[in-house]
């Protein structure tokens, strides 16, 4: 616990705007977006959090403000503790956040993924391209308004799209999402759709 208290005092002393963040496990802090790299550098250099485990984001939903929160997880390989730092993006429509690739080169791909999935632009990133979806994909799949089945768009390669006539189509849900019943024998616990009255051919009753 002493280590936890240490981190809080060190940070509070240097960055008075920092507030505690509700957390069930490790110490967590809310940080103003523009100070995030400085706070992370302080954690790295003064509190021995030398490993950046994860960069991700939270979308709080359409119409929320602030809508996007970027979250960093740091690990101290010497003290074996984690710390979580979160910063809200100021702009809800065009979210952006300073990059920490200068502090940890490993942040590069994490930030590309977060950009790919949420559309958060990391300013100062050396090569901010999509990493999972293809270049030119028009949506950000982990945003709340994006349906799991996907949205209609064209294939990445126009030549192949022309030749095959195939498109990126919403996946058929056939009455899904599919849920497994807990307990019971295996054949009854199989994942199945809750509402099986509609299929790909038979439209969902409205």
Partner 1 sequence: MVSPNTELAYDSKIEGDVIVSRLDAVINWIRTNSMWPMPMGLACCAIELMAVAAARFDIARFGAEVMRFSPRQSDCMIVAGTVTYKMAPQVRRLYDQMPAPKWVIAMGACASTGGMYRSYAVLQGVDRILPVDVYVSGCPPRPEALLDALIKLQAKVRREPAAKRLFRT
Residues that bind partner 1 (CB under 8 A): 132-134, 139, 141, 146-151, 155-157, 159-161, 163-164, 166, 168-173, 176, 178
Nearer to partner 1 by C-beta: 138 or 185? 138
Beta bridge partners of 30: 19, 86
Give dist(CA 172, CA 149) in Å, integer: 7
Residue in this structure with the two tokens 């208290």, named with its chain if needed: 5
Least distance CB 62 / partner 1 (angstroms): 18
Nearer to partner 1 by C-beta: 157 or 195? 157
Least distance CB 157 / partner 1 (angstroms): 3
Nearer to partner 1 by C-beta: 87 or 128? 128
Give dist(CA 21, CA 87) in Å, integer: 10
Structure tokens at 204: 């969902």
Nearer to partner 1 by C-beta: 22 or 159? 159
- The values of phi and psi at residue 100, to 5°, are -115, 25
Structure tokens at 22: 């509700």
């Amino acid at each position: 616990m002493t280590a936890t208290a240490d981190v809080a005092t060190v940070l509070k002393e240097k960055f008075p705007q920092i507030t505690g963040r509700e957390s069930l496990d490790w110490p967590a802090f809310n940080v103003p977006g523009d100070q995030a790299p400085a706070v992370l550098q302080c954690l790295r250099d003064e509190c021995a959090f030398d490993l950046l485990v994860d960069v991700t984001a939270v979308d709080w939903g359409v119409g929320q403000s602030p809508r996007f929160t970027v979250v960093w997880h740091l690990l101290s390989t010497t003290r074996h503790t984690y710390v979580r730092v979160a910063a809200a993006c100021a702009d809800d429509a065009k979210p952006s956040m300073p990059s920490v690739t200068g502090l940890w080169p490993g942040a590069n791909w994490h930030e590309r993924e977060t950009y790919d999935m949420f559309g958060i632009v990391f300013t100062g990133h050396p090569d901010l391209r999509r990493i999972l979806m293809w270049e030119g994909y028009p949506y950000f799949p982990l945003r709340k308004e994006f349906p799991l089945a996907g949205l209609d768009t064209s294939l990445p390669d126009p030549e192949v799209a022309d030749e095959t006539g195939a498109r990126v189509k919403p996946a058929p849900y056939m009455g899904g999402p599919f849920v497994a019943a807990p307990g019971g024998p295996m054949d009854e616990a199989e994942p199945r759709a809750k509402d099986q009255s509609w299929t790909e051919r038979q439209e969902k009753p409205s």
